[in-house]
Amino acid sequence: MSLISIDTCRLDGKVAVVTGGGSGIGEATAKVFADAGAMVIVTGRRLAPLQRVAAEIGGHAIACDVSDQAQVRAMFKEALKFGRKIDILLNNAGGPGPIAPVADVDMSAWVECMNINLVGAMYCLQEAAKIMSAQNSGSIINMSSLMGIQGYPMRSAYVASKFALIGITETMARELGPVNVRVNALMPGAVSGENMDRILQRRSEQEGRSAEQIERENYTDVAALKRWVAPEEVGRAALYYASDLSSAITGDKMKVDCGRF
């Protein structure tokens, strides 16, 4: 008798909320979850890309700025109307934050990054914790980063927010374990896409190096696999945490970084 069935990695009958679901990792993961059988609700600040993704996967779109607690509460309330439960939260919404040395960083931009990446994540975690505790089941996946376990020059706000998410993940895993809710974190390395292209351009302007040089020296050449991570590769790692493949795993953190150790 096989110890692993096809059902173990399926999400049939599950309802998943994906924040930051209109592009990048969020979009890719929404598609992975939908392919695995989940009904997926994608959320984010811009409705048009959310509607496009939702149409492609047969899901639902809800506009929500996670830095606004009232909007987060309204989003979860609306999400419950679609499936009367929430089995999975991919807590993914966030931004790169200011790119500058600590001595020179624009503190208003620094605080704005924390309000989205950390405070916004906490607003979502509060609502998911209430819903999943009442259900006595659920899987929460926090999107941290490789920069959630190691500091990185010019990225203090982003680093601080992602370090904090690792601690919150471990805290919530202990809090919610007794009610059968698992909480884990993903730590992607450099993921290809428009967000990374913008970061390369901003670093190039700050550092006086070409984007191509920064890409090679800081991202691809330093990875064991000598390449970028693709968004769908992060999505497949999220599927592991969302599904019963990881049924005994909580408080964990997984690198998805093409071997940048």
Q: Write out the residue range of the structural domain in which residue 202 sits.
A: 192-228
Q: Which of 14, 123, 139, 162 does the annotation list as catalytic?
A: 162
Rounded to two decimals, the pTM is 0.92
Question: Mind listing the pLDDT tens digit for each residue in 141-198?
Answer: 999 999 999 999 999 999 999 999 999 999 999 999 999 999 999 999 988 888 788 8
**Helix or strand run (H / E) with residue 107:** helix 107-114
Q: Which of 23, 67, 139, 144 does the annotation list as catalytic?
A: 144
Q: Which of 158, 219, 243, 246 does the annotation list as catalytic?
A: 158
Mean pLDDT of 231-258: 97
Other CB atoms within a 10 A radius of the CB of residue 95 amount to: 19
Instruction: Name the percent of the chain lying above pLDDT 70.
Output: 98
Q: Are residues 211 and 90 in the same domain?
A: no
**Helix or strand run (H / E) with residue 168:** helix 156-176
pLDDT surpassing 70 at residue 232: yes
How far apart, in whole angstroms, are the C-alpha atoms of residue 30 and residue 135?
22
The whole-number pLDDT of residue 1 equals: 42
The whole-number pLDDT of residue 5 equals: 61
Domain count within the chain? 2
Q: Which residues contact 73 (CB under 8 A, 6 or more apart)?
A: 123, 127
> Could you tell me which residues are beta bridge partners of residue 17?
41, 89
Has 158 been annotated as catalytic?
A: yes
Q: Are residues 106 and 166 in the same domain?
A: yes
Question: Does a structural domain hold residue 260?
Answer: no
pLDDT band of 3, cuts 50, 70, 90: low
Residue 59, domain CATH = 3.40.50.720
Question: Mind listing the pLDDT tens digit for each residue in 47-94?
Answer: 999 999 999 999 999 999 999 999 999 999 999 999 899 999 999 999
Mean pLDDT of 136-141: 98
Q: How far is CA 111 from the centre of its chain?
A: 20
User: What does 175-191 look like in DSSP terms, one character per residue?
Assistant: HHGGGTEEEEEEEE-SB
The whole-number pLDDT of residue 172 equals: 98
